[in-house]
């Protein structure tokens, strides 16, 4: 029997992204042995079903009509063998088809994951959260379904040919009716397929938009409650969901016509075959056993007909899903990887030429701006999240591979979030820190009380986005995670904006101690943090206009004083 496939795959491969159809072909061809086994088992399975009426007919003519007990036992035994063959082949086909489904679905998921990792911070800027959710939750299954039906579809085609050949040998008229009638039935259903694909595409697009709206509402629910906007967004979500429902009804209407045609047309065809067979039997052109076989063939022909239309329907849905998947795979990161990467520098002096800011090696520096977006832009450039000429120890970040930059320079901003899992894995993303190192980072972030309050300590479960924590607790845990990473350069954007003054004071003092000898940059306007840094750079209109200690700038730069005290000239 088939061995269990190991998932996730070591390498999902390089997909053919030129079109949805080419992607489906690629994801099928990449599993040649499994596809061949599923198709072969499908052929044996369907052919065995197709041969059963013929065996039964021969048993009637040779055994019952001729009163030959030996022939009856022979054909009955052969029928048993055919039945067992069908059963075994059906089980094997199902197992291989499920393997195809799993491989296609998980391979597609891994491709999305690989693309997301390659895009990094650029992903949320290029595609909505709802669209990613829709692709991962719905489209993967549709892609898997299109591959899963392949074994049955090919088996049905071969079985159809087998039945047509048998009927041609028995009756030329019946054989021609089957050979010509089945393709005509499929052509009759064809006009429904193109509109069905268009309606599926429209419904899929609306579903992605609705998921995105739901994600926005969940993320901003606390704010909505604060400003009394729940009812407004509830009404908006209800209206959007009704649009999605209406689109789904339009798909269902056309799908119901297709399903009805899958029953009506084959049923009418079966009636014709049975009627012709009965006429031939009355005229004496066929034997009683052959007449019984005709009835069996008529009932059997419904299966390949419905399987063929089902396969086409699943391929249509798979193409729609693949088109949404390819839209994400086609996204490109904000920065191209260098063709000839520079050697990794040893030092940790970080220089932003655009603003003139210099993060001196081993010092705790701060950036202050009258406009928060200006200092945030500097932080983005320092971490290679936005274009700009930034050097690390004289080497441009653009000339260094992104993984090297991410390891050497860590930016932890206000958008940083927590993920589900244990607190230990949340803080130590690389899985290399000891409990002592985790405790040091938690203490430096003044998050000891968070740890004490958790049943299970470091092994306690963190819920999605850390929703069980308060805003201040989440911010301190995010800071602790950045400290555990212990990069050469750490850039912290407003790391204490959600904590009280006493906690902020402790963090300021401990941050200086835990990052001693390491390059650290803090983007903030907090006097408590600024009073403990080595040097402050004040930015106006995107350029450093003054540098010095916090107290020096308070005495010499009025604009700095206004920025720090938020307009109050104290």
CATH class in words for 350-564: alpha beta
Condensed to tens digits (0 to 9), the pLDDT of residues 461-500 reads: 887 767 778 878 888 989 999 999 999 999 999 998 888 8
Condensed to tens digits (0 to 9), the pLDDT of residues 41-99 reads: 989 998 888 888 888 888 887 877 777 788 888 888 888 998 899 899 989 998 998 88
Rounded CA-CA distance 179/183 in Å is 7
Give me the pLDDT at residue 113, please: 83
Structure tokens at 77: 């035994």
Total residue count of the chain as it appears in this document: 570
DSSP string, 294-328: HHHHHHHHHHHHHHHHHHHHHHHHHHHHHHHHHHH
Q: Does domain 20-329 have CATH number 1.20.1560.10?
A: yes
Low-confidence residues in the chain, pLDDT < 50: 1-2, 223-224, 226, 567, 569-570
Q: Residue ranges per domain, the chain? A: 20-329, 350-564
User: In Å, how far are 138, 246, 305, 522, 542 from 251, measured between CA atoms?
Assistant: 16, 9, 22, 54, 53
350-564 and 20-329 share a CATH fold: no
Q: Is the separation of the CB atoms in 345 and 127 below 8 Å?
A: no
Q: Which residue has the tokens 């986005």?
A: 465
Rounded CA-CA distance 301/298 in Å is 5
Rg over alpha carbons for the chain, rounded to the nearest Å, is: 34
Cβ atoms within 10 A of the Cβ of 261, count?
15
Give me the pLDDT at residue 301, please: 74
Give me the pLDDT at residue 131, please: 67
Structure tokens at 374: 């200006």
Strands 395-396 and 489-493: unpaired
Q: Is the separation of the CB atoms in 384 and 376 below 8 Å?
A: no
């Amino acid at each position: 029997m088939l061995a269990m496939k190991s998932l996730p795959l070591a390498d999902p491969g390089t997909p053919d992204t030129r079109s949805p159809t080419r992607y489906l072909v690629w994801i099928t061809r990449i599993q040649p042995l499994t596809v061949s086994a599923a198709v072969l088992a499908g052929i044996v399975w369907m052919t065995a079903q197709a041969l059963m009426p013929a065996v039964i007919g021969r048993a009637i003519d040779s055994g019952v009509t001729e009163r030959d007990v030996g022939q009856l036992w022979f054909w009955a035994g052969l029928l048993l063998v055919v039945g067992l063959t069908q059963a075994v082949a059906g089980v094997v086909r199902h197992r291989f088809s499920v393997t195809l489904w799993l491989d296609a679905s998980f391979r597609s998921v891994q491709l999305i994951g690989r693309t997301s990792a390659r895009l990094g911070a650029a992903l949320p800027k290029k595609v909505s959260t709802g669209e990613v959710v829709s692709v991962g939750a719905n489209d993967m299954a549709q892609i898997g379904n299109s591959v899963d039906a392949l074994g049955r579809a090919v088996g049905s085609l071969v079985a159809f040919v087998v039945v047509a050949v048998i009927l041609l040998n028995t009756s030329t008229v019946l054989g021609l009716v089957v050979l010509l009638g089945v393709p005509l039935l499929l052509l009759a259903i064809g006009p429904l397929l193109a509109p069905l694909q268009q309606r599926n595409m429209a419904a899929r697009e609306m579903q992605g938009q609705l998921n995105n709206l739901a994600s926005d509402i969940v993320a901003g629910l606390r704010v909505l409650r604060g400003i009394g906007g729940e009812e407004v967004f509830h009404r908006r979500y209800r209206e959007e969901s009704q649009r999605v429902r209406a689109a789904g009804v339009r798909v269902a209407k056309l799908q119901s016509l297709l399903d009805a045609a899958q029953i009506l047309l084959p049923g009418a065809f079966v009636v014709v075959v049975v009627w012709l067979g009965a006429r031939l039997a009355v005229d004496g052109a066929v034997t009683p056993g052959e007449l019984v076989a005709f009835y069996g063939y008529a009932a059997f022909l419904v299966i390949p007909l419905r399987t063929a239309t089902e396969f086409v329907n699943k391929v249509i849905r798979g193409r729609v899903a693949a088109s949404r998947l390819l839209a994400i795979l086609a996204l490109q990161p904000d920065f191209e990887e260098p063709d000839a990467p520079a050697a990794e520098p040893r030092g940790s002096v970080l220089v932003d030429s655009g603003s003139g800011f210099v993060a001196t090696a081993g010092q705790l520096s701060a950036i202050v701006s009258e406009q928060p977006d200006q200092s945030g832009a500097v932080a983005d450039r320092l971490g290679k999240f936005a274009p700009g000429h930034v050097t690390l120890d004289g080497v441009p970040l653009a000339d260094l591979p992104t993984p090297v930059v991410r390891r050497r320079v860590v930016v932890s901003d206000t958008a940083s979030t927590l993920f589900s899992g244990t607190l230990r894995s949340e803080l130590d993303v690389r899985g290399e820190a000891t409990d002592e190192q985790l405790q040091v980072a938690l203490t430096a972030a003044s998050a000891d009380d968070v740890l004490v309050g958790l049943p299970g300590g470091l092994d306690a479960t963190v819920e999605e986005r850390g929703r069980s924590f308060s805003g201040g607790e989440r911010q301190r845990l995010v800071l602790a995670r950045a400290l555990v990473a212990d990069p050469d350069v750490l850039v912290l954007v407003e790391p204490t904006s959600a904590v009280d003054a006493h906690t902020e004071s402790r963090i300021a003092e401990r941050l200086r101690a835990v990052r001693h000898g390491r390059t650290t940059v803090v983007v903030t306007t907090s006097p408590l943090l600024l009073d403990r840094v080595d040097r402050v750079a004040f930015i106006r209109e995107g350029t450093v206009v003054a540098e010095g200690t916090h107290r020096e700038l308070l005495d010499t730069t009025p604009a700095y004083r206004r920025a720090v005290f938020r307009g109050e000239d104290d």
